[in-house]
């Protein structure tokens, strides 16, 4: 158990809809990262928050947004969903804003299926 929790585990929705994925980092970790893993793809970095502020953006679509709340949990909002958004979405946390070692602790993921 990494200490990172994600809800829900599974989400099935229709195209055009909007969903919210939730992540609670390990106790004490200030950084939260979101990743997308599509079929046959590696982990694609989406966005990082550190202590409530956006730190870095990766390959995140404009239809996607995220935020980190004062209690450090984070939410990833996906809107106008398309079939291609079906994927595993992982949240990870780390103690620092991004050190060289950058060991990140991953949650179990949310599997999103868009029908």
The 3-state DSSP composition of the chain as helix, strand, coil percent (nearest 5) reads 5, 50, 50
The correct pick among 27, 62, 71, 101 for binding other proteins (CB under 8 A) is 101
Q: Please, which residue, 79 or 106, has the CB nearer to other proteins?
A: 106
How big is the site for other proteins, counted in residues (CB under 8 A)?
30
Determine, following the binding rule CB under 8 A, whether residue 48 of this chain makes contact with other proteins. Answer: yes
Determine, following the binding rule CB under 8 A, whether residue 28 of this chain makes contact with other proteins. Answer: no
Determine, following the binding rule CB under 8 A, whether residue 51 of this chain makes contact with other proteins. Answer: no
Residue with tokens 């229709």: 14
User: Residue 109: which residues within 8 A CB-CB, separation 6 or more?
Assistant: 6, 9, 37, 88, 89, 90, 91
- What angle is formed at CA 72 by the lines to CA 51 and CA 44, rounded to 5 degrees? 80
The correct pick among 2, 7, 51, 80 for binding other proteins (CB under 8 A) is 2
Q: Which residues sit at the interface with other proteins, rule CB under 8 A? A: 2, 4, 35, 40-45, 48, 50, 55-56, 58, 90, 92, 96-109
């Amino acid at each position: 158990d990494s200490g990172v929790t994600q809800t829900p585990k599974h989400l099935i929705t229709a195209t055009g809809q909007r969903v919210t994925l939730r992540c609670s980092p390990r106790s004490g970790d200030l950084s939260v990262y979101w990743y997308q893993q599509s079929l046959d793809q590696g982990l694609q970095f989406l966005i990082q928050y550190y202590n409530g502020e956006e730190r870095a953006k990766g390959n995140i679509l404009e239809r996607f947004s995220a935020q980190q709340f004062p209690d450090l949990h984070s939410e990833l909002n996906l809107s106008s969903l398309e079939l291609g958004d079906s994927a595993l979405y992982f949240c990870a946390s780390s103690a620092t804003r991004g050190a060289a070692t950058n060991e990140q602790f991953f949650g179990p993921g949310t599997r999103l299926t868009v029908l």
